[in-house]
Amino acid sequence: MKLFRVLFLLVLLAAVAPLVVLVLVLRANGVDALSLAASAGVSAVLLALVISMVMARRVTRPLDELVAGALDIARGRFGRQVAHSGRTELSDLAYTFNFMSTQLDQYNRDNARLYAALERGYLETIRALASAIDAKDPYTRGHSERVAKLAVEIGRELALDDATLRVLEFGGILHDVGKIGIPEQVLGKPARLTPEEWNLVRSHAAIGAEIIDGVEFLKSAEPAIRHHHERWDGGGYPDGLRGESIPLIARIVNAADIWDACTSERPYHKAATHREGLKILAESRGVQLDPDVHDAILRVLVRLGKSDGGAVA
Amino acid sequence: MKVLIADDDRLVRAMLGDLLVELGHTVVSAGDGAEAVTLCDREPPDLLILDFLMPRLSGLDALRDIRRRHAIPALLLTAINQGSLRGVEGVDQVQGTLEKPFTRKTVERAIGKAVPGR
């Protein structure tokens, strides 16, 4: 609209100014052409109005389109294209705009790909670390990986966002990383542990949290590692947290850990059947496990075909 | 009432904030769209005044996110012409626009339009 005003004034000036000069010159020569000039003036104004309106539209329409496109790109919608036609400078601008937008989209995709590759690298590294721990103890082979998978499934069941699911994956893989500081004889001891040995085993949660303390991208998983042995009733370790004061990711990893530990072979017990595992889970509900997390893991197990649902309640 | 301002320009936040306080409102402010979304979840305001172009999350994208959980009226704060805004996706979600530079009068009028009866 502003462009229209400027154009209108310019065209009007161009049309009316010579007319005024003409009238003045004629009058100096004794010819009075005022009425003729007035009608010419009116038509000049009308013509100016029409011409400037048409011209302004021709310019503002593609400009509006370009502004809308630029706004979209500013919002991160790279690749946005604008329509253009004809061979004016404006369509050149639109053409280059489209090219720029496509390039931005390309760079953005490249970045996303690089980022994903980097993250995959991280994940592979911590997987390697976790299998180093699992290898210390033949009974726990694959345990970390299974706990991570199950924890992510529980998180999904609880409708957690993608970022938290990622943290659950890291937390699940690394939850026992602190066992690296515990002698194999203690970890693999088939007999009852002495109180000193028990304390040693219990220290793995805090040790694990300390190990990853210096790693920025794992920071968010630290609560899962430190608190995966806390109990809903407050009787767990290392901090004796109770109920909701235990971080949710730790409550989830705890549930996944219990399920995997009791359904796989250990030095101190034989693998429980799924039915027995479900019974153990049910007994832990509201005592060791967050009731909501317990219900979520049940739904996950039903979905994975490890429970027929309702057999154990 | 409580108004949430989101603008990446500190000066704009300060000026608009002062103006709103003078008009008798409480003000919370955010430096970008993502911050506005978190702030909104923590303490939902009665009115949003969102800048269009902000880093991380634009005003309209922040609004779309907020509207999933809260039905709060919103004004779009922008230096861009009304005409150019037409057709931008999501612009129909706001109750009005507040053009920069704003004055006490335009702010009052825009708020009156967005929240009738206040």
Q: What is the pLDDT of residue A40?
A: 86
| Catalytic center residues of A | 179
For chain B, say whether A64 makes contact (Cβ under 8 Å).
yes
User: Of A60, A63, A68, which has the smallest distance from its Cβ to B88's Cβ?
Assistant: A68
Sketch the domain layout of chain B as residue ranges.
2-114
Mean pLDDT for chain A overall: 88
Say which residues have a Cβ less than 8 Å from residue A111's Cβ, sequence separation at least 6: none
Query: What residues does B29 pair with on adjacent strands?
Result: B5
Nearest CA in chain B to A61: B84
Residue in A150, A273, A268 with CA at minimum distance from that of residue A201? A268
Instruction: Say what the pTM is.
Output: 0.63
Mutate which of A60, A61, A71, A78 to disrupt the B interface (most B C-beta within 10 Å)? A71
The fourth-level CATH superfamily of domain B2-114 is: Response regulator (3.40.50.2300)
Cα–Cα distance list, A297 to A111, A179, A258, A260, A313 (Å): 36, 25, 11, 12, 13
pLDDT of A312 over the 50 cut: no
Average of pLDDT values for A226-255? 94
Cβ <8 Å between A68 and B84: yes
Sketch the domain layout of chain A as residue ranges.
2-106, 137-303
Q: What is the C-alpha separation between A268 and B57, in angstroms, rounded? A: 54
- The distance in angstroms from the start CA to the end CA of chain A is 72
Q: What is the pLDDT of residue A138?
A: 67
H or E element, residue B77: strand B74-78
Has the ipTM of the complex gone over 0.90?
A: no
Per the CB < 8 A criterion, the answer to whether A153 and A304 are in contact is yes
Average of pLDDT values for A17-43? 86
Q: What is the DSSP string of B7-58?
A: -S-HHHHHHHHHHHHHTT-EEEEESSHHHHHHHHHHS--SEEEEESS-SSS-
Cα–Cα distance list, A156 to A50, A84, A115, A255 (Å): 63, 45, 23, 14
Q: What is the C-alpha separation between B108 and B102, in angstroms, rounded? A: 10
Average of pLDDT values for A295-313? 76
Scan residues 39-78 of B and list those with Cβ closer than 8 Å to A: 52-53, 58, 60-61
User: Of A1, A63, A75, which has the smallest distance from its Cβ to B61's Cβ?
Assistant: A75
Weakest-pLDDT range from A12-16, A251-255, A265-269, B66-70 = A265-269
CATH number 1.20.1440.230 is the correct assignment for the domain at A137-303: no
∠ CA A87-A89-A90, rounded to 5°: 95
Q: What is the pLDDT of residue A33?
A: 79
Compute the nearest-CA separation of B8 from chain A (Å).
14
Q: What is the pLDDT of residue A112?
A: 94
Own/partner long-range contacts of B28-31 (Cβ < 8 Å, ≥24 apart):
B28/B2, B28/B3, B28/B4, B29/B4, B29/B5, B30/B4, B30/B5, B30/B6, B31/B6, B31/B7
Cβ <8 Å between B80 and A74: no
Chain A positions touching B87 (Cβ under 8 A) are: 64, 68
Cβ <8 Å between A60 and B53: no
For chain A, say whether B91 makes contact (Cβ under 8 Å).
no
Q: Is B78 helix (H, G, I), strand (E, B) or coil?
A: strand
Q: What is the C-alpha separation between A229 and B31, in angstroms, rounded? A: 39
Cβ <8 Å between B58 and A67: no
